Structures are given as structure tokens and as C-alpha cells.
């Protein structure tokens, strides 16, 4: 227990901040994922064949390759790409992209693919009459989407989004390979310097279990709250 | 994009893919055994046994695969008596540690898939068997088990793809699987795009084949309702 005390002698405060970092990365990744999903869901549902192919390519490729590969690609490739763009503008120095940004972006791209599938399913399960009724009433397409379809879609997708959240939360552990100090990386450091990997990885496991447990409780509450009227 | 480089690294990546497939198949094999055992424990009427099985699947589904892998690879080596016992032969090898971690992980998911398949079997089938005087053992092996396997095929297909993606973590503990080979190429050539995109194509190809095999099996043996 002494190992977990706060302050200079223990790892308590380090692990606490690492947990906050994990939460921060997960939430940012989830939000980035939503942005991707809102772009690609209409593409997947569109009647235009070409747009359809783009949407399908995104979800199929991202869900078909390992998460680690996406992270490595963005982490190693991202730096090169940014430096290439910078060299066009006449800057030749070394640029290192923040590990948090690449990490959140990589996990966000992955979580976006899952969210896209969830949103697509939710929109498909909305009654067709809703679309027809708003068309008959002469409501413009984007107002129809924002005011009628989106709220229903979000409510319907809460249960499945909770799965996506769990996947996203667990995927953030993979960012540790790029050096961002979240739970996994911090336990790795602590395990290395105290030579007690069993203890620290168990602590990491308990922290992740706590996060999943608490977030499940929270999401269940949300689900109950938003299904009150139905 | 350097197409020539992509072609030249293809053979070494393929040799990594063989190791990936080896790990995948062995984890699936052990995972199925573990999954079956825990699914049967889950539907046991004794609350202590079913709680134990629930705890197992909760732990392995609630923590990242990387934590489990590190716990087994770095953590188990920390226990003195394991190091002196016969098990040391197994857990000192990263290859076996990876297989143990992936098997335990997929075992938890498989047990959930099978459990829900068992629980959705219509009660009428079991009652019909009972009224015909079929013994419990035969009801299980001849009626419940085949239906459960057929029903869980689509979900299990997804699970296989998840393990395939999970095996890429083996590269973190020094195994030269497909991911490990791609990392090596990246370090040697500083060409991340070529290395990882080629690996991604191979991963996608394997996913595609698994997807189609499961689709074929579903069509042939699937549960028609």
C-alpha cells in the first residue's frame, strides 16, 4: 500500500493523474469519433453509389485492421506528413506532434467507425413516416435532420454507444506505446522502477475496471432518463 | 508512396503473417474450450459458480487486452514459486504468454456469446424433449448444444476478427508477428506509410477471408427461423 501513497514516496498521485489522462483521451476520442460518424453516416446512407463506397471503405478498413496499426500509422506517419507540409512552407526543422493529439485522433478515427455503424443502424430503425411527414410539411432537409432525425437517432443509439465507449476506453491503453502517460504507461514506468510489475499491472486492471463500471452506471442512468417518454 | 519497397517487404511481412495466424488459431482453440466451460458454469443454477464465471468474464471484458498481456508476461514472472515450478518453461516464452492472454480474453467473450445462445433457445424444445423422456445429457448434447453453436456463429465470426486484431499486440512483447515485422521495416527504412499500409492490406485480406468463411458456414449450417 505504501507504493500507492500520494507524494514523492508513492505512485498514488501519478496514477491518479494518469487516470485523468485516460479519461481525457477517451472523451476527446469519443468526440472526434462523433465528428467522423456525422460525416460518414450520411455517406453510408446516401443513394449516390460513389459516396456510398467512400463510407463503406472507411468503416470496413478501420474495423478490419488492428487498432495498433492505425496508431502507428498516425504516430510515425503523421510526423512525416506534417514535416512535409511544413517543408513546402519553408520550415525544415523537426516537428513533433503532441502525443495527446495523435493519440486522441487515432482512437477517434477508430471509434468513429464504430459510431458510424451505430448511427446508421439507429437512423434505419427510425420510422419512415417521420421522414415522409416532415417532407409533406415542407421542412427543409437540414432542419429535418437536426430537429427531427438527430434527436431520435441519439436516443436510439445510447445503448450501442455505450459499447463503443467501452471499446474506446480500452483502446486508449494502446496509446501508451507512443509514450503518452496514461494509466498503462504510468504502470509501465512504475513497474519498471519498483520491479513490481504484478502489483502495478493489477492496479491498472482495477483502475480500468472501475472506469468501465462507473461509466456503465452513468450511461444506464442516461438511458433511463431519455427513454422516459417511451 | 514507394511501391517497389512495398513489394520488396512483402515476403518478410508474409512470414510474420504466418506467426499471426498461428497465434490466432491456437488462441481460438483454447479460447473455445475456455468459453464452453465458462458458458456452462454461467448457466449453472448454483449462484456461487455462476457468479464466479460472471466475475471471470467481467474482468476480461472490462480491462484492456494490453493490461492482461502485461500482467501475464511481466506480472507472472514476478511470482517466486511460479519461477521455480514447471510453468516457468511456458511463461518465460513471450509466444506462449501471448497465446495464454489471448485465449483467456477470447474465452471470456466466447462464453458470453455461447451463454446468450443457450439462453435464447426456446423452452419448448427442452420441454418437448423432456416429455418424450429424453435424458438430460442427451437433451444437452443433441438439442441444446447444436442449436447454441448454430445461433452463435455470426457473433463468433466477429469475435474471430477481434482476436485477429488483438494478436497485433503480441508485437509489443517482442514477437515478430505481422505487426512486429511492419514495425521492424518502419524502424529500418523510416517509411511508416509503406510499412504499415502493406501490413494493413494483409490484415484486411485475412479479415476478408475469415468473414467469407463464416458467411459460408452460416449459409450452410445457419439457424433457419
Partners of B193 on chain A (C-beta within 8 Å) are 73, 77, 80
- What is the distance between the alpha carbons of residues A40 and A117, in angstroms, rounded to a whole number? 9
Q: Is A46 on the interface with B (CB under 8 A)?
A: no
Task: Determine contact, residues A175/A99, Cβ cutoff 8 Å.
Answer: yes
Closest CA to A204 of A24, B170, A212: A212
Which residues, 6 or more positions from B117, have their beta carbon under 8 angstroms from its beta carbon?
B147, B148, B149, B151, B152, B155
Total residue length of chain B:
225
Partners of A208 on chain B (C-beta within 8 Å) are 62-64, 67
CB contact under 8 A, A66 and B165: yes
Map out the domains of chain B as residue ranges. Answer: 3-221
Provide the pLDDT for residue B224.
Answer: 57
The distance of Cα B179 from the centroid of its chain, to the nearest Å, equals 17
Q: Is A64 on the interface with B (CB under 8 A)?
A: yes
With 0-12 / 13-18 / 19 or more C-beta atoms within 10 angstroms meaning exposed / middle / buried, residue A104 is: buried
Q: Report the residue of B63, B109, B189 to disrupt the A interface, i.e. the one with the largest count of A CBs within 10 Å.
A: B63
Cβ-count burial B203-215 (b if 16+ within 10 Å, e if not): beebbeebbeebe
Task: Determine contact, residues B203/B164, Cβ cutoff 8 Å.
Answer: yes
B contact residues 66-105, partner A, Cβ 8 Å cutoff: 66-68, 70-71, 74-79
Residue A138, helix vs strand vs coil: coil
Tens-place pLDDT, residues B177-215:
999 999 999 899 888 888 999 999 999 999 999 999 998
pLDDT, one tens digit for every residue, chain B (225 residues): 788 888 999 999 999 999 999 999 999 999 999 999 999 899 888 999 999 999 999 999 999 999 999 999 998 888 877 778 877 888 888 999 999 999 999 999 999 999 998 888 888 888 999 899 989 889 888 888 888 888 888 899 999 999 999 999 999 998 999 999 999 998 998 888 889 999 999 999 999 999 999 989 888 876 655
Report the 3 state secondary structure along A66-117.
CHHHHHHHHHHHHHHHHHHHHHHCCCCCCCCCCHHHHHHHHHHHHHHHHHHH
Kindly report the nearest CA distance between residue B151 and chain A, in angstroms.
Answer: 21
- What is the distance between the alpha carbons of residues A120 and A103, in angstroms, rounded to a whole number? 26
pLDDT, one tens digit for every residue, chain A (230 residues): 667 777 777 788 889 999 999 999 999 999 999 999 999 998 998 888 999 999 999 999 999 999 999 999 988 888 778 888 888 887 877 777 788 888 999 999 999 999 999 999 999 988 888 888 988 998 888 888 888 888 888 888 988 999 999 999 999 999 988 888 999 999 999 988 888 889 999 999 999 999 999 999 999 998 888 888 77
Task: Determine contact, residues B174/A60, Cβ cutoff 8 Å.
Answer: no
- What is the distance between the alpha carbons of residues A114 and A166, in angstroms, rounded to a whole number? 11
Q: Is B209 on the interface with A (CB under 8 A)?
A: no
**What architecture is the A21-181 domain classified under in CATH?**
Orthogonal Bundle (1.10)
Provide the pLDDT for residue A2.
Answer: 67
- Alpha helix positions (H), B63-191: 65-70, 80-84, 88-91, 94-119, 123-131, 136-138, 145-151, 153-166, 178-189
Nearest 5°: the CA angle A70, B178, B155 is 70
Which residues, 6 or more positions from A192, have their beta carbon under 8 angstroms from its beta carbon?
none
Cβ-count burial A203-225 (b if 16+ within 10 Å, e if not): bbbebbbebbeebeeebeeeeee
Provide the pLDDT for residue A1.
Answer: 62
CATH of B3-221, one of 3.40.1350.10, 3.30.420.40, 1.10.3720.10, 1.20.1080.10: 1.10.3720.10
CA max distance for chain A: 70
Which residue of chain B comes nearest to A196, CA vs CA? B78
Closest CA to A33 of A102, A99, A104: A104
Amino acid at each position: 500500500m505504501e507504493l500507492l501513497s500520494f507524494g514523492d514516496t508513492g505512485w498514488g498521485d501519478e496514477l491518479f493523474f494518469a487516470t485523468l489522462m485516460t479519461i481525457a483521451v477517451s472523451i476527446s476520442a469519443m468526440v472526434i469519433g462523433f465528428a467522423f460518424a456525422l460525416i460518414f453516416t450520411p455517406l453510408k446512407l446516401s443513394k449516390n453509389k460513389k459516396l456510398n463506397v467512400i463510407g463503406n471503405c472507411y468503416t470496413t478498413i478501420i474495423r478490419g485492421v488492428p487498432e495498433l496499426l492505425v496508431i502507428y500509422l498516425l504516430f510515425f506517419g503523421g510526423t512525416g506528413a506534417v514535416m512535409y507540409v511544413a517543408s513546402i512552407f519553408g520550415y525544415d526543422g523537426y516537428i513533433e506532434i503532441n502525443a495527446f493529439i495523435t493519440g486522441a485522433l487515432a482512437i477517434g478515427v477508430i471509434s468513429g467507425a464504430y459510431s458510424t455503424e451505430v448511427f446508421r443502424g439507429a437512423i434505419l430503425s427510425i420510422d419512415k413516416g417521420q421522414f415522409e411527414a416532415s417532407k409533406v410539411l415542407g421542412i427543409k432537409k437540414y432542419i429535418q435532420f437536426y430537429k427531427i432525425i438527430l434527436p431520435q437517432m441519439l436516443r436510439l443509439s445510447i445503448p450501442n454507444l455505450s459499447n463503443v465507449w467501452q471499446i474506446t476506453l480500452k483502446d486508449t491503453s494502446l496509446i501508451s506505446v507512443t509514450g503518452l502517460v496514461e494509466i498503462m504507461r504510468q504502470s509501465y514506468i512504475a513497474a519498471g522502477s519498483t520491479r513490481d510489475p504484478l502489483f502495478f499491472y493489477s492496479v491498472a486492471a482495477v483502475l480500468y475496471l472501475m472506469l468501465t463500471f462507473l461509466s456503465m452506471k452513468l450511461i444506464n442512468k442516461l438511458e433511463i432518463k431519455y427513454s422516459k417518454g417511451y | 508512396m514507394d511501391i517497389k519497397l512495398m513489394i520488396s517487404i512483402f515476403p518478410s511481412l508474409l512470414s510474420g503473417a504466418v506467426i499471426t495466424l498461428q497465434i490466432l488459431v491456437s488462441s481460438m482453440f483454447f479460447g473455445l474450450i475456455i468459453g464452453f466451460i465458462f458458458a456452462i458454469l454461467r448457466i449453472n443454477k448454483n449462484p456461487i459458480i455462476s457468479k464466479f464465471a460472471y466475475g471471470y468474464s467481467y474482468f476480461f471484458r472490462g480491462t484492456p487486452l494490453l493490461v492482461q498481456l502485461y500482467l501475464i508476461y511481466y506480472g507472472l514472472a514476478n511470482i517466486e514459486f511460479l519461477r521455480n515450478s514447471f510453468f516457468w518453461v511456458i511463461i518465460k516464452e513471450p509466444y506462449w504468454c501471448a497465446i495464454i492472454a489471448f485465449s483467456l480474453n477470447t474465452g471470456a467473450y466466447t462464453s458470453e456469446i455461447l451463454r446468450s445462445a443457450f439462453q435464447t433457445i426456446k423452452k419448448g424444445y427442452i420441454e418437448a424433449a423432456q416429455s418424450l423422456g429424453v435424458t438430460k445429457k442427451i437433451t444437452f448434447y443433441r438439442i441444446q448444444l447444436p442449436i447454441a453453436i448454430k445461433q452463435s456463429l455470426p457473433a463468433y465470426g466477429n469475435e474471430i476478427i477481434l482476436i485477429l486484431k488483438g494478436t497485433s499486440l503480441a508485437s509489443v512483447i517482442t514477437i515478430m508477428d505481422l505487426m512486429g515485422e511492419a514495425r521492424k521495416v518502419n524502424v529500418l527504412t523510416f517509411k511508416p506509410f509503406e510499412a504499415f499500409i502493406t501490413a494493413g492490406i494483409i490484415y484486411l485480406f485475412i479479415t476478408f477471408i475469415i468473414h467469407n468463411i463464416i458467411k459460408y458456414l452460416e449459409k450452410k449450417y445457419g439457424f433457419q427461423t
